[in-house]
A and B are shown apart, each in its own frame.
Chain A
Amino acid sequence: MPACFLLFFLASLMACGCAATGGPTQAGRDALLLKYRAATEHMRLSEFAQAKPLLDDAITTLGGISSGDAAARKARGYFRSESTKSFRGEPYERVMAYYYRGILYWMDGEPDNARACFRSAQLQDADAEQGGYQADYAILDYLDGLVTTKLGGEASDALARARANARLGSLPDFDPQANVLVFFEMGQGPTKYSAGQYSEQLRFRQGTARSTSIQLKVGNQVVRASPADDLSFQATTRGGRQMDYVLANKAVFKGTTDSFGNAAILSGAILAGTSGRRSAVDEVGAGLLVAGLLSKVISAATTPSADTRMWDNLPNLVGFAALRVPAGEQRILAEFLDASGRVVLSREVTLAIIPGTRDTVLFLSDRH
């Protein structure tokens, strides 16, 4: 029996030891997440030059095919949790990396590269389980079409797709002469949590936003715009992931090995306790105890928990407005309005509009 205790001790050590290792590389696996968060902060502080390399890293990573990724392969194993894979984010998070980079490209006078980002962003959402929710960001199709129109192309199909997916308000016709493009965002985005007996199910809590529309005033011009997309909606309509099947299998395995362990330990204890020492029944009982313990150890080491790491400073609502602003120094007053039309937050920006040059791109958030 001392061997049994030693066995139990070693098994516990194995389970505990394995759970604690991997620390030094977790930072690496979270690197993209940290870049996402930092990029958002820089965007809100108008530190676009700092946001750019972070987002470039992000979209370079997202653009690569992850096939053969050792961390991802391990995360699918029974004994590693999903969070040991390198973070890339769920589709709504990946979409935002491309979306932000697209805004910066447009700022830099490269609307075609911006369009490329908006298209790649839309593709990130193409995996939604139900067809109606696949690639259904209204703003991305709208911006794709606007760039195409500005570059002299025809984009009525993109506008039709955008309008079909616009759930929060109507989208205006494209104005290729618009020279001030306002990207705005509101509120706190969705948050992740895990559910299920073993936390194996990834769930989302709806985000919140105090402001629900924006009003832009330039000279005598007043433009009111509603957000085009709701990230909470996008996060919750994605449907099942391939990884969910993996986690469900892990959960079944964990539950089965745990139940078997309980049954074997109980049976073994009864058998060992009801017969004489050194009898065959006693030996079978001891064997069952050992098998039960092993099964419990395996169950304890199985980690079906869903990855709840998240890009936690995303907005809940994103939108866009295009204005025609005369040349010269112009002051734009942006007012974030709540559902009743009251001003929640106002912001004044001075722009120098130079005729014949690139579009002036404005990024506004109600978070800073």
Chain B
Amino acid sequence: MYRPVARHLATLTLVLAAALASGCASHGVRNPSGNGVTVMKADEQGFVAGTGVESQDIVSVSDKMARSILETPQIQRAQGQPRVVLLPIENNTRFAINKDILLTRVRARLNSQTRGKVLFLARERMAALEKEQQLKQSGQVTSASDPNVVEFQGADFFLTGRLDGSTTKSARGVSDYVLYTFQLIDVRTSAIIWEDMAEIKKQGLDDAAYR
């Protein structure tokens, strides 16, 4: 009668030894082999995600706005090149963002697709431009034209936008809705000659360990 018990104990000992060897071998090491670099498209959601403004939103929204601006009659039928200045967008969401990125992408899209149909003015570089002009006026650097003649161009349109958000949070998670609106404003008349919008809603629920 003693032998079966001894056999059971031996088996149990082996099981525990196996658990010791296998169970604890990788204990505390999260994802021990790591993650290789994954090249992703900017318009796809990666495996790291939140409910805020992400690259795929920036790409889809700015692409939509660039297309929409090009379809505007005032742009399509403009005599000469309409000159556009970017005005910083206002962020009225709960997500701190790089506010330049949306308009920069719209501008780059329009410049690359229209090849001069719309002319953007580098107002954000005015300080450097003015300094260069002063250098020319003082004769410290050469000038291809009369440096005393103001050649900085005025804008025909302001391109600007706004992000608005609405958030809901409950035991079932957090839900974020962001409305992106963009406007092209005629600086002579203050008329909004174009406006378009995009909206994105995301939901998620944190792990219970953080709730």
B residues 29-74 touching A (CB-CB < 8 Å): 29-31, 48-52
B134 on the A face (CB < 8 A): no
Main secondary structure of the interface of A (DSSP, over half): helix
Distance between Cα atoms of A250 and B30 in the complex (Å): 22
Contacts of B28 in A (CB 8 A): 21-26, 84
Contact B16 A119, beta carbon cutoff 8 Å: no
A112 touches B90 (CB 8 A): yes
CB distance from A303 to the nearest CB of B (A): 12
A70 is an interface residue with CB less than 8 A from chain B = yes
The stretch among B179-187, B189-197, B200-208 that forms the contact with chain A is B200-208
Min CB distance, A152 to chain B, in Å? 9
B163 to chain A, nearest CB (A): 9
**With A7-B13, A22-B27, A283-B5 as contacts: A113 and B97 at CB distance below 8 Å:** yes
Interface residues in A229-275 (C-beta closer than 8 Å to B): 241-243, 246
Residues of B within 8 A of A283 (CB): 1-2, 4-5
User: Any chain A CB within 8 A of the CB of B20?
Assistant: yes
Tell whether, in the assembled complex, residue B209 and residue A113 are in contact, meaning their CB atoms are under 8 Å apart: no
State whether B16 touches A11 (Cβ < 8 A).
yes
Residues from chain B with a CB closer than 8 A to the CB of A116 are: 91, 93-97
Q: Point out the residues of chain A lying under 8 angstroms from B2, CB to CB.
A: 277-278, 282-283
Shortest beta-carbon distance from A92 to chain B in Å: 14
Residues of chain A within 8 A (CB-CB) of B204 are: 65, 67
- Whether a CB of chain B sits under 8 angstroms from the CB of A296 is no
Q: Is the interface of B mostly helix, strand, loop or mixed?
A: mixed
A348 to B109, CA, bound (A): 50
Please measure, in the bound complex, the distance between the C-alpha atom of A3 and the C-alpha atom of B8, giving whole angstroms.
10
* A82 interface contact, C-beta 8 A: yes
Residues of chain B with a CB closer than 8 A to A82's CB:
209
- For the complex, count residues of A whose C-beta is within 8 A of B: 68
Q: Tell whether, in the assembled complex, residue A69 and residue B1 are in contact, meaning their CB atoms are under 8 Å apart.
A: no
Cβ of B135 within 8 Å of any chain A Cβ, yes or no, is no
Q: How far is the CA of A280 from the CA of B1 in the complex (A)?
A: 7
Are B209 and A85 neighbours in the complex by a CB distance under 8 Å? yes
Stretch of A120-128, A207-215, A327-335 that contacts chain B:
A120-128
Contact indicator A66/B94 (Cβ below 8 Å): no
Please state if A67 and B206 are interface contacts (CB–CB under 8 Å): yes
Residue B129 interfacial (CB < 8 Å): no
Closest-by-CB residue of A relative to B17 is: A10
B94 to chain A: closest residue by CB: A119
Q: Which chain B residues lie closer than 8 Å to A195 at the CB level? A: none
Identify which of A21, A65, A113, A153 contacts B99 (C-beta below 8 A).
Answer: A113
B96 engages A65 (CB within 8 Å): no
Q: Which residues of B have CB within 8 Å of A356?
A: none
Contact B91 A279 (CB under 8 A): no
Docked-complex contact A65 and B51, CB < 8 angstroms:
yes
Chain A window 46-74, contacts with chain B (Cβ cutoff 8 Å), 1 for yes, 0 for no:
00000000000001000111111111111
Tell me the bound Cα distance from A319 to B208 in angstroms. 32
Binds B, one of A12-20, A36-44, A163-171: A12-20
Let me know if A279 and B24 touch, CB within 8 A: no
With a cutoff of 8 Å between Cβ atoms, the chain B residues found around residue A78 in the complex are none
Query: Is A223 at the interface (CB under 8 A from chain B)?
Result: no
Bound CA span A23–B94, Å: 36
Check if A110 is an interface residue, CB within 8 A of chain B: yes
List the A side residues contacting B90 at CB < 8 Å.
Answer: 112, 151
Q: Apart from A113-B99, A283-B1, list 16 A-B contacts with CB within 8 A.
A: A3-B9, A21-B28, A25-B29, A64-B48, A68-B207, A69-B207, A70-B30, A72-B209, A76-B207, A76-B208, A84-B28, A102-B96, A110-B99, A116-B91, A123-B167, A278-B2
Interface residues of B (CB under 8 A from A): 1-2, 4-6, 8-10, 12-13, 16-17, 19-20, 23-24, 27-31, 48-52, 90-97, 99, 167, 169, 174, 204-211
- The 5 A-B residue pairs whose C-beta atoms are closest, nearest first, are A22-B28, A65-B204, A119-B94, A72-B209, A3-B9
